[in-house]
């Protein structure tokens, strides 16, 4: 779902809220919907997409889905390195999540 009214941002924000509330299944659904929208609108390497990928990694880690978390972290890390370089705080934060 790609919209011009910030729907992806709203879905991403709901994902964060649900994750903070411990509603991990609901958070995952919101992040997945946001990710689909960002990928379609901006592409897989846009920083908004990568932020969602990184948050999915954090969520999967919280759920004990370590293989899925690692895949998300690797994808986010590679994208951040390409977008911002290896010394940017987002790159370093993601590397630290491993």
- Return the CA Rg of the chain: 13
* 31 membership: H or E segment, kind and range: helix 24-42
Confirm if 37 and 1 have CB atoms less than 8 A apart.
yes
pTM of the model: 0.86
Q: What is the pLDDT of residues 44-77, one digit of tens each?
A: 999 999 999 999 999 999 999 999 999 999 999 9
Domains, the chain, with CATH or none: 7-97 (1.25.40.10)
CA dist 29 → 20, 38, 98 (Å): 14, 14, 23
Q: What is the pLDDT of residues 22-48, one digit of tens each?
A: 999 999 999 999 999 999 999 999 999
């Amino acid at each position: 779902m790609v919209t011009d009214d910030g729907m992806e941002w709203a879905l991403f924000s709901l994902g964060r809220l649900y994750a903070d509330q411990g509603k991990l299944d609901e958070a995952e659904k919101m992040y997945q919907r946001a990710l689909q929208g960002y990928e379609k609108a901006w592409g897989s390497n846009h920083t908004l997409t990568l932020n969602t990928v990184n948050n999915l990694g954090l969520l999967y880690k919280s759920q004990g889905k370590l293989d899925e978390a690692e895949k998300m972290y690797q994808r986010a890390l590679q994208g951040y390195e390409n977008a911002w370089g290896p010394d940017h705080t987002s790159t370093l934060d993601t590397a630290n999540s491993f």
